[in-house]
Amino acid sequence: MAKVQKRVWLTFGNRNLVEKPILWRMAREYPNVSFDIRQASVTAEIGIMAVLFEGESGELATALEFLKAQGLTVEPIEKNMIES
């Protein structure tokens, strides 16, 4: 199955999320989905990461859903494309 890549911003919106090893869990759950952190800014209250994910299309989508289910905001690297 061909691999696809996705560039996204992950936002860890509160201290609780910042302090959980959510990416590690995703990697255990979806070992065929790789991730490469290209930029990150993390404080005690909020963390934002620019991440390149790669994997088979269906599994990659499921992995990103897993991150959302943990409470992360997962957005395209363009963030909000829809303007007024």
Partner 1 sequence: MSYVRGLKCRECGQAYPEKGVHVCETCFGPLEVQYDYAAMRGKVTRESIAGGPRNLWRYRDLLPIHGEPKVGLHSGMTPLKRARNLERVLGVRELYIKDDSANYPTWSYKERVVSVAITKAIELGYDTVGCASTGNLANSVAAHAAEAGLRAFVMIPHDLEQGKVLGSLIFNPTMVRIKGNYDDVNRLCSEIADKYRWAIVNVNLRPFYTEGAKTFGFEIAEQMGWKLPKHTVCPTAGGTILPKIYKGYREFINLGLVEDNQPRIYSAQAAGCNPVVEAIRAGRDLIKPQKPKTIAKSIAIGNPADGFYVVQAVKESGGWGEDATDSEIVEAIKLLARTEGTWTEPAGGTTLAATIKLIESGRIPRDESICVCITGNGLKTVEVVVDQLALPESIAPSLDAFDALMADRGTAVAAVSAV
End-to-end CA distance of the chain: 39
Contact between 1 and partner 1 per CB under 8 A: no
- Indicate which single residue of 31, 45, 57, 58 sits in contact with partner 1 (rule: CB under 8 A): 45
Contact between 77 and partner 1 per CB under 8 A: yes
Residues 6+ apart with CB under 8 A from 63: 26, 29, 30, 33, 53, 55
What does the binding site for partner 1 look like in residue numbers (CB under 8 A)? 7, 9, 11, 13, 38-39, 41, 43, 45-46, 48, 50, 52, 73, 75-84
